Structure 1
């Protein structure tokens, strides 16, 4: 298990509530290494990575979770994917000349919307959309769940360009407490305590210490951590399928226009897949997308 990239679940014995904590360092560093992000953009992207990891921990599915934020401002796109195998990747698009070091979510992403998509390998794709109407991504995500029919869920997210951390609290179906007023009071108690958490505490404290800081008067069970890692899902095979969708004549013409080969760049990891006319002929002959032998003439 990675010592730096993991989620860890916890339960309250006296309340119908659970929680999840996430810590990202290596995978966050991999994402930031692919593009020269300004610090405010790196922070937002780290928070979204942490949110995706927390959400995957709450879902039981086989596929891909996608968080995509769009706006009319200096950051027109934030996009993070986390698979059910707990593999993360992310990207941001930004206009550097419009970004100030002190900008937050409202300044960077005005008129923003956040789409949450669950794309299972088998079954129906689901998408929910919410406006980015909070001061932070955590507030906007919390609003999304508050306005849905799902269980009450709150987020706390922080990132500083080196570490991305997050805390999620979620109400559970009534078992310990069946009285609605009692359940509401307990939920408020837990979230008010979490609201007291300072950024430096979330970024700097280990999970056991953090939970003791917040809930030392409660009985909290902390479970074993589950590893996360950066991994891009791009491949030569997927790029080849995109070429096949063009048709052989159009693919060959495109290669000729581009000086003899088509280069397909992955926006997430900057890897380039190159296909020359011989590769294209091989594809359409049904011989696959393997890279040709270097001795081929």
Structure 2
């Protein structure tokens, strides 16, 4: 992608200022069934990976996963949360699991578990610098498990299993979208350990009425070359551009010769859903006797910490007894 495109057909693109680099910016190609989103993460991503001493490759993988969750939730009509989860199928894998979540309000969080129990494992992580290297720790292609989990507020949860069809997260998710929803999808993801970004473009099916109108009105005819053209353009975007450029600068550079329309962007922020009330519910599941034993073993205080945000909730003997007295 070159700077030359920046100077063409300015009037065709109606975009907003997204100088704040924690946004999801939707866009449409006018008079076509194409929609897309660009996600940029900076402060929210930095807060996420600051919670634990992640190896560099896992930092970058979590950046791609956060970006992907923020992109894909824009394609589903729910009030709730969407998460992407990776689970290793190999006990010798250095990556146990990883997950990233985004809700409909743009609140994101992520977490990963990895092995670094000896010098050999630590050195192995030190030699990895890319997200795809951490992704490869799931095992060979076809191994490991990828999930998309959707939790509607007050509704039944849904889990989709993503085929490990490629050696990177973006292509696996694009393949899943095409296979499960029958919607041609392009996904590019990037993370440099400091910032993250990505783009998703989809060709939505036309309704029967839209198809009839296109056939009857030559001016509203289907652009048969549109998806091929957009595919070529989208594949030109560089990882460094996805992690450093403003969301609408990316859209403009790629598609400035198309009629692009963009609504207001959605702000993305780091946040956590943990609470003292949820910890109390977990203690109820443990049972009073076992919870009191833990209090005694831990010197009079039962501490429960959140891996996402590092918040620590403390319960003494009186607190535990109060939970079961209610």
Residue correspondence of structure 1 range 152-191 to structure 2 within 5 A: 152-174=184-206, 185-191=225-231
CA distance in 2, matches of 1:207, 1:82: 18
Matched, 1:255 2:272: no
Structure 1, unmatched stretches of 5+, are 287-297
Q: Alignment length, in residue pairs?
A: 285
When residues 93 and 184 of structure 1 are mapped into structure 2, their CA distance, relative to the original with a 3 A threshold, is farther
SS in 1 for 2:258: coil
Normalised by the size of structure 2, how large is the TM-score? 0.81
The structure, 1 or 2, with the larger RCO (C-alpha pairs under 8 Å, 6+ apart) is 2
Matched, 1:268 2:308: yes
When residues 215 and 223 of structure 1 are mapped into structure 2, their CA distance, relative to the original with a 3 A threshold, is same
Matched, 1:59 2:76: yes
Residue correspondence of structure 1 range 210-229 to structure 2 within 5 A: 210-229=250-269
How far the C-alpha of 1:46 sits from its partner, in A, is: 0.2
- 2:15 alignment counterpart: none
- 2:275 alignment counterpart: 235
Matched, 1:81 2:101: yes
CA distance in 2, matches of 1:107, 1:156: 18
How far the C-alpha of 1:122 sits from its partner, in A, is: 2.0
When residues 76 and 247 of structure 1 are mapped into structure 2, their CA distance, relative to the original with a 3 A threshold, is closer
Contact 1:77 1:94 in 2 (8 A): yes
When residues 159 and 236 of structure 1 are mapped into structure 2, their CA distance, relative to the original with a 3 A threshold, is same
Residue correspondence of structure 1 range 95-244 to structure 2 within 5 A: 95-96=115-116, 97=121, 98-99=124-125, 100-102=127-129, 104-105=132-133, 107-110=136-139, 111-174=143-206, 185-244=225-284
Contact 1:141 1:155 in 2 (8 A): yes
CA distance in 1, matches of 2:158, 2:19: 31
How far the C-alpha of 1:264 sits from its partner, in A, is: 1.1
How far the C-alpha of 1:246 sits from its partner, in A, is: 2.3
How far the C-alpha of 1:222 sits from its partner, in A, is: 2.2
Normalised by the size of structure 1, how large is the TM-score? 0.89
More helix by share: 2
Deviations 1:66-118 (A, max 9, x none): 11011232222110111222211101112242322245245332122210011
CA distance in 2, matches of 1:155, 1:184: 21
- RMSD (Å), alpha carbons: 2.2
